[in-house]
Amino acid sequence: MHLGTGMMNAVVGTSYTSEDEDILGADEDYTALEDALRREVANIESTHPGYDEYRYHVDELGHNPYELASYLTAKLRHYTRENVQGELRSLFEVQYRLTLTEEVETRYRTETRTGTSTSTDPETGETTTEEYEYEVEVAYEYYILHVRLENRTLPAVVASRLDTEQKKLYDVLLELKGNKPYLWDGIYSGNDGGNDPGSDYTVPGEALSDPAFVALITEAEKYLGFPYVWGGSSPGTSFDCSGFVCWVYTHSGVHNLPRTTANGILSQCARVSKADARPGDLIFFQGTYNTSGASHVGIYVGDGMMIHCGDPIKYASINTSYWQQHYLTFGRFN
């Protein structure tokens, strides 16, 4: 009798206590805030016209819904969609920061101008005027708008908003998915249905004849086992899929790739067929979560394998039914 009660209390203590519709609704509302911010960034050039150039330094928007639900439960214990709106807004404003900074450069352009010269014939006294062209360097102001969107990521933000006991509860809830793994069972969480080698994989020797690929893999393997963190883009925060790829390509010296989304990376690539794919190319997937275009990216290492930021960062076969179902294309930087 007492044993059964204790087990029941243990389950309740590690479960999301709110109704499913409230948990899902709160997450939808947080996603709506992210979507609105995404639209704001996309429309910057129409809402702030008149600049010669727009430079974007934009982190990926997104969150792990289990992290949000675990935080809200640890913080509030029980919540409804209606009474959690203030907490969602407060959390959102800490997680994301959009700043617009104007920069004015003095630049120079070459302009062709027309002048006249007058000469007098010493014998006849006749005066003639001739036109000629000459070039001058003219200074002008060049206006740049820097658009910077920072995503501090939910794990970094919630750590500062929970006390010690709440943080312990948060960690347990997140690990167990609040005993409600069915809530977002379609979201990409690293479970691709295969028996991945994880970090126990050796890249085929023939691929290592390319120095650029060696540099790429040497950098990538430093982070094997790092967890997947939505919006993460450095070893300090850990990574999401695109943050991992951007970091590895840039810090290996193979290709300078400023932080962008999986779809943003694809836009910089030429598409490559499966038959022509080679180690060091990128492989893109779609539909791993609800977004348009490429939703996930990994680094192809040959022999049907990739290294990617799953959960955790690991080697994985691209030939499982999961990845084949979501396959979009291979890509190579232009």
State pLDDT tens for residues 49-92.
999 999 988 887 888 899 999 999 999 999 999 999 999 999 99
**Residue 95: pLDDT band with limits 50, 70, 90:** very high
**Domain's final residue, options 143, 171, 194:** 143
- N-to-C CA span, the chain: 68
β-bridge pairing 127-151 and 233-234: unpaired
Judge if 58 and 115 occupy the same domain.
Answer: no
Q: Report if residue 292 sits inside a domain.
A: yes
On whether both 116 and 89 belong to a single domain, the answer is: no
Together in a domain, 72 and 174: yes
What's the average model confidence in pLDDT over 238-245?
92
Same-domain check for residues 78 and 163: yes
Give yes or no: residues 161 and 212 share one domain.
Answer: no
CATH assignment of the domain containing 217: 3.90.1720.10
- CA 165 centroid distance within chain: 31
Q: What pLDDT does residue 70 have? A: 96
Same domain, 157 and 282: no
**Model confidence at 299: pLDDT above 90:** yes
Residue 6: inside a domain: no
Same domain, 120 and 222: no
In a domain, residue 127? The reply is: yes
Q: How many domains does the chain have?
A: 3
Q: Domain for residue 291, yes or no? A: yes
* Mean pLDDT, residues 10-15: 66
Residues 229 and 295 in one domain: yes
In the chain, pLDDT over 90 holds for what percent of residues? 65
Judge whether residue 153 has pLDDT over 50.
yes
- Evaluate if pTM is beyond 0.85: no
Q: For 181, what's the count of Cα atoms within 13 Å in the CB-facing half-sphere?
A: 5
Q: Which of 314, 316, 262, 272 is nearest to 293 (CA)?
A: 262
Kindly state whether residue 9 falls inside one of the protein's structural domains: no
Sheet strand arrangement including 269-272: 269-272, 327-333, 282-286, 294-302, 305-309, 313-317
Contacts of 11 (CB under 8 A, 6+ apart): 179
Same domain, 240 and 267: yes
Note whether residue 71 is domain-resident: yes
Query: Using CA atoms, how far apart are residues 169 and 151, in angstroms rounded to an integer?
Result: 24
Per the structure block, which two tokens stand in for 269? 């690539």
Residue 139 pLDDT greater than 50, yes or no: yes
Range of the domain at 122: 103-143
3-state class (DSSP) for residue 274: coil
* pLDDT mean over 208-236: 91
**Domain edge (last residue) among 179, 197, 229:** 179
Do 35 and 170 reside in the same domain of the chain?
Answer: yes
CA dist list (Å): 281 to 207, 213, 284, 310, 332: 12, 9, 10, 18, 5
Q: What integer is the mean pLDDT of 98-117? A: 95
Percentage of residues in the chain having pLDDT higher than 70? 91
Mean pLDDT of 170-181: 92
Strands, E assignment, 244-311: 269-272, 282-286, 294-302, 305-309
- pLDDT surpassing 70 at residue 196: no
Residues 56 and 78 in one domain: yes
Q: Do 229 and 152 reside in the same domain of the chain?
A: no
Q: Is residue 185 part of a domain?
A: no
In a domain, 193, yes or no: no
pLDDT band at 192 (very low <50, low <70, confident <90, very high): low
